[in-house]
Amino acid sequence: MTSSSVTGLWKKLTGKFSKSSQGAAHHVAIIPRDQHTVSRRHISEAALKVIRKLNDEGFEAFLVGGGVRDLLLGGQPKDFDIATDATPEQVRNAFRNSRIIGRRFRIVHVRFGREIIEVTTFRGNHSAPASNPQRNKHSAQTESGMLTRDNVYGSIDDDAARRDLTINALYYSSRDFCVYDFVGGLDDLNNKLIRIIGDPETRYREDPVRMLRVVRFAAKLDFDIEKHSEAPIKRLAPLLNDIAAARMFDEVIKLFMSGQGLHTYALMQRYELFAPLFPATQKMLSQREPAAEEIIKQGLINTDARIADGKPVTPAFIYAVILWPMVKHLHKEIMDAGTPEIAALHQAAERVLHKQQQTVAIPKRFSLPMRDIWELQCRLTRRSGKRPEQLLEHRYFRAGFDFLLLREQAGEIEPGLGQWWLAFQEAHVDTRGAMLSQVPTGDKPRAPRRRRGPRKPR
């Protein structure tokens, strides 16, 4: 595409160089194909189909966000997002295999088999007067500045200004094969900087989850956080208490299942972002419980290693590790009051999970396996009779066993039990009997007492 046609496309997109929400003209950097590394060969065919279809319908469509960022860094993106000037309804009408989701922030999911392409309409600014009925219909903010409805549409340069990080505001066009940079994202990418777009405090108040995104990308990419973007985070961290608990579940998964969970956790502690999400666990950590800190760190180390090796990781295990210090503490308290071991564990788990739901809502499909993992910590110490063989058939035995090894690695329990179970799993059926006969006496249940009958009269 010639330089004149690129300029023509740019004028069409921005309304002849429209102004930003701050009133300053945008100076877009247009990087031609021979000066960047983004190639259609590395872009999902489904994403290219969405772009072509929208273009054929008369709309503009760009690959945007993490897909462009990762391709420029030489990686292979997992997800490809599209930004367009088509409204959600127009996108929905163009694709039968799509649906509109979200209320606060409406987007369209276009499905191709198991792959989902996320399509968003160019976002506009919220500078319209409060008396404007259109603004009231599509935009709403709380007194603290948090956006509760964000469906104001605008041009591509407005959209760039509304995105969270400069490195996520890069656009790629499959028409001219150029990369469009509106906010200096390429410079920050080259300088390895995480920078929030606009005034940091205002943007964090609009959506406090942006603070989590800043630390997540800093850990994931091993970038530094720009000083102005960093400055208000610790002070504004309590704003996370205002976020819906259901939304926080997915955010925590992104934080700790990105392959850089340990680094992310360290940054969350530095900026005091962990406490609003897991207040009970933070209470244990604040009491300088070395075992609590160690098991969380060891759990994240093991999770990062599994992700690096391409092994599956379940959110249930991550949450079981993070909440275990408080479960263990309550378990001991309830047992000391005279409740039997397993019953005490059930009560402790119930109380911890009930409290946790107020900040991070954990669905039952994960909270139920978590309870099983915790309960297995009691059952794995009982190695007599048919119990070990039966436990091997337990559907969460492997997760419970891995959790036991984690506790040994963290120094919470004496080593040896994990090695015994590892050997028992690998032993031949005939050998297992001999292993059971050598189990220490403390691991065997007491013989049941004989019931005495009524005394016979003399």
In sequence order, what DSSP letters do the residues of 229-292 get, joined into one string?
HHTTHHHHGGGGGGS-HHHHHHHHHHHHSSS-HHHHHHHHHHTT-STTT-HHHHHHHHTT-HHH
The residues annotated as belonging to the active site are 79, 81, 164
Q: Say if CB 410 and CB 294 are below 8 A apart.
A: yes
Structure token digits, residue 338 = 């005279």
pLDDT tens digits for range 4-16: 444 444 444 444 3
**253 domain residue, yes or no:** no
- CATH number at 348 reads 1.10.3090.10
**256 domain residue, yes or no:** no
Taking the C-alpha atoms of residue 176 and residue 233, their distance in angstroms, rounded to an integer, is: 39
- In terms of domains, do 14 and 137 share one? yes
Position 237: which residue type?
Answer: A
Range of the domain at 338: 290-440
23 pLDDT higher than 60 = no
Single residue among 191, 214, 245 that ends a domain in this structure: 191
In Å, what is the CA distance from 62 to each residue of 54, 292, 444? 10, 46, 66
Give residue 142's pLDDT band: very low, low, confident or very high (50, 70, 90). Answer: low
What is the number of other CB atoms lying within 10 angstroms of the CB of residue 362?
A: 21
Give residue 151's pLDDT band: very low, low, confident or very high (50, 70, 90). Answer: low
Count CA within 13 A, CB hemisphere, residue 304: 17
- In terms of domains, do 178 and 298 share one? no
pLDDT tens digits for range 431-455: 777 777 677 655 544 444 444 555 5
**65 domain residue, yes or no:** yes
Q: Say if CB 379 and CB 391 are below 8 A apart.
A: yes
Widest pairwise Cα distance in the chain: 118
Count CA within 13 A, CB hemisphere, residue 45: 2
- Per-residue pLDDT at 453: 54
Q: Are strands 193-194 and 224-225 parallel, antiparallel or unpaired?
A: parallel
- In terms of domains, do 187 and 295 share one? no
- Per-residue pLDDT at 443: 56
- Per-residue pLDDT at 374: 96
Single residue among 191, 206, 239 that ends a domain in this structure: 191
In Å, what is the CA distance from 280 to each residue of 29, 335, 379, 399? 48, 19, 25, 23
- Per-residue pLDDT at 106: 87
**Helix, strand, coil content of the chain in percent (nearest 5):** 55, 10, 35
**228 domain residue, yes or no:** no
- Per-residue pLDDT at 385: 75
178 pLDDT higher than 60 = yes
The residue behind tokens 């772009």 is 51
The domain total for the chain is 2
Q: Say if CB 215 and CB 268 are below 8 A apart.
A: yes
**205 domain residue, yes or no:** no
Residue 144: its H or E element: none
Percent of the chain at pLDDT exceeding 90? 67
| Mean of the per-residue pLDDT values of the chain | 85
- CATH number at 39 reads 3.30.460.10
**21 domain residue, yes or no:** yes
- Per-residue pLDDT at 287: 86
**250 domain residue, yes or no:** no
- In terms of domains, do 56 and 182 share one? yes
Count CA within 13 A, CB hemisphere, residue 111: 8
pLDDT tens digits for range 250-290: 999 999 998 999 999 999 999 999 999 999 999 999 987 78
332 pLDDT higher than 70 = yes
pLDDT tens digits for range 383-438: 877 888 888 889 999 999 999 999 998 888 888 898 888 888 888 777 777 777 67
